[in-house]
Structure 1
Amino acid sequence: MYAKGQTVISYMEQLAPKHLAVPDDRIGLQLGTLQKEIKNVLVALDVTEEVIDEAIRIQADLIIAHHAIIFRPLKSLTTDSPMGKLYEKLIKHDIAVYISHTNLDVAEGGINDWMAEAIGIQNSSPLEDLHTENLYKLVVFVPKTHHEKVLQAILGAGAGAIGDYSHCSFNIDGVGTFVPGAGTKPFIGSEGQMERVEEVRIETIVPASVKSKVVQAMLKAHPYEEVAYDLYHMDLKGRSLGLGRVGKLAEPVSLQTLVDTVKEQFDVSTVRVVGDLNRTVKKAAVLGGSGSRYVNLALFKGADVIVTGDIDYHTAQDALMAGIAIIDPGHNIEKIMKPNTAKWLRSKLEQHQYETKVHASEINTEPFQFV
């Protein structure tokens, strides 16, 4: 059985939820339809003519790309313009195009995390915070006989995370009272009679992102016809998500050693470097895409170097004077999203026993030549 387009995208949005994108970013379905079976998915950085030809060769029904093919509203769609020809070819071959851009940058386990891991950054945090998750306190009363079942259902659905700790909860024994009303079918007790039951009060933390999932898991596992529970919004905030990553390297290295690591991990033959190649680097920042406006932020957060693309001349001069090093391997290193996104989607589809295949594009869309 092949997955429908909407199903494939629902998995993609588990990795990179749309609400994480910066305002006005061009994300989501940009061309075609998701109301069809998807036999093959192609994951690409850019949608170029060569990438479309690749999609046609592998009989892809859907391209998931990082960079948008429609940047601003179209006033007309002519097929004799360069972009118009691309749209025409996609439509003629019934290939849908879905874009996951800054939401994939921001997401936990997304582009910036992949970049950080590639160069050895440990325990990274966002370079620029964009989203701080709201937290809720869940309180539910459970008969002792079902305490463990309900507790494990709640924690298994994603509740109970505090920092680097998971499955956190507090459990208090007590006595619950209730009178089943007319027409009820109580799990314990009889209609019209006061009942006293040994119960456990479970308290735990629930992130907003899994609130509905946790409540549904709790209700499904709970034996009572009417479940007594409360959800309190907390002033305490959860994890922060944002653009870029910053953190300490596994061990201090020279800038030259880090340059060699960047070239190897991101498969680039050359990089531009600002700073003394013999200096020691302990803390590093990364940011996929164009990072000129994030150099000062990386410096403020204590980074010795930032790895990012599209650094302009004056930003490089300012960084040199400020004492922060820069490694610029180009914008195209975001191609790290191709194999990693494909692997993630493939795992999800296989887990649900779909026959849909996911391919990482093999086309190099780097527009620059280095001569």
Structure 2
Amino acid sequence: MSISKIQLLEAIEKIAPIHLAESWDNCGIQIDLGKIKIEKILITLEITTDVIREAKEVGADFILTHHPLIFAPLKSINHNNITGKFIVSLIQSGISVISAHTNFDKADDGNNDYLASLMNLENIKCFDEGEDKYIGVYGDLKKECTLLDVCKILEKGLLLSSNEIRAVGPMDKKLSTIGVCTGAGADMLEIAILKNCDLLITGDVKYHDAMKAKELGICVIDAGHYGTEKIFVENMSEQLRKIFHEEVEIIESKVNVNPFDFL
């Protein structure tokens, strides 16, 4: 029961075509140790010490992440810095790494479509402006809900506690059209307004972004970077299983990579 690296690359290209990736991004192979057969793939949001330990424990040949391990061009690999330490540990453990980041964010059935489906949105469309396709989607609620109602829907859909969600806007405001940009998407505020969204759901909203949203009259829910993107693990795993069935073992990481703790 195994697949080849070519089969894995072809499957990821089918799910999240590389041409969708942002120009600044580093999607694709991060570490390639040249294994001929791939028997176990661990799916995770990103690489951490605990994720590497988990990969070794389950005997993974490959780790498939959302967040790339390597961004800037490397001039050296130094075990004394975080990225270098991860790379050395992965190579010593014989584990290759591949990432699907903004290409998966923009892909059909990727992170944003998946979150929109969890919200039961209808008439889902991509954020775009002319020929430019931005990260994120928007759609309509089946019936109007208040901002508080949507917060509760998110809590249930993303398995979050109420103190993991922050909101900008009157809690009793009626909403019908919702924009979604998983991860850090506050820069989509004005695009969401152009698309007549009453609300933008995203993560990593800064003070000035929140103040801007308040002044522009659009509601915002910040459900956290981790909170809005942890769905990558279940979503990517489901899509790979549909392609490979039982040809390769797809393992969903059980490691919580959220760096924040909540009271």
- Establish whether TM, by shorter chain, passes 0.5: yes
Aligned to 1:307: 201
CA contact (8 A) 1:28 1:99 kept: yes
Counterparts in 2 of 1:131 and 1:15: CA distance versus 1, 3 Å = farther
Q: What TM-score results when the alignment is normalised by the length of structure 1?
A: 0.68
Amino acid aligned to 1:70: I
Structure 1 counterpart SS, 2:202 = strand
Aligned to 2:253: 361
1:34, 1:98 → 2: CA distance?
13
CA contact (8 A) 2:33 2:96 kept: yes
Aligned to 1:124: 124
Aligned to 2:135: 243
Structure 2 counterpart SS, 1:3 = coil
Map 1:310-321; keep pairs closer than 5 Å.
310-321=204-215
1:336 aligns with 2:231: yes
Cα deviation, residue 82, structure 1: 2.5
Question: Which structure has more strand as a fraction of its residues?
Answer: 1
CA deviations over 1:202-255 (Å, ceiling 9, x no partner) = xxxxxxxxxxxxxxxxxxxxxxxxxxxxxxxxxxxxxxx541001111111111
1:2 aligns with 2:2: yes
Amino acid aligned to 1:16: A
Aligned to 2:221: 327
Counterparts in 2 of 1:340 and 1:34: CA distance versus 1, 3 Å = farther
CA contact (8 A) 2:42 2:60 kept: yes
Give % identity: 32
Map 1:63-78; keep pairs closer than 5 Å.
63-78=63-78
Amino acid aligned to 1:295: L
Map 1:163-312; keep pairs closer than 5 Å.
242-269=134-161, 270-312=164-206
Q: Which runs of 5+ in 1 are unaligned?
A: 133-240
Question: Which structure has more helix as a fraction of its residues?
Answer: 2
Amino acid aligned to 2:235: N
1:130, 1:312 → 2: CA distance?
28
Aligned to 2:240: 345
What is the number of residues matched between the two proteins? Answer: 260
Map 1:103-182; keep pairs closer than 5 Å.
103-128=103-128
CA contact (8 A) 1:130 1:243 kept: no
CA contact (8 A) 2:33 2:91 kept: no
Structure 1 stretch displaced more, 96-105 or 6-15: 6-15
2:241, 2:136 → 1: CA distance?
25
Structure 1 counterpart SS, 2:230 = helix
1:64, 1:24 → 2: CA distance?
20
CA RMSD between the two structures: 1.5
Q: Which runs of 5+ in 2 are unaligned?
A: none
2:233, 2:148 → 1: CA distance?
27
Aligned to 1:20: 20
Counterparts in 2 of 1:111 and 1:88: CA distance versus 1, 3 Å = same
2:70, 2:200 → 1: CA distance?
30
**Would you identify which runs of 4 or more consecutive aligned residues in structure 1 move more than 6 Å?**
none
Aligned to 1:157: none
Cα deviation, residue 369, structure 1: 1.6
1:316, 1:300 → 2: CA distance?
18
Amino acid aligned to 1:30: Q
Q: What TM-score results when the alignment is normalised by the length of structure 2?
A: 0.94
Cα deviation, residue 370, structure 1: 2.0
Cα deviation, residue 129, structure 1: 5.0
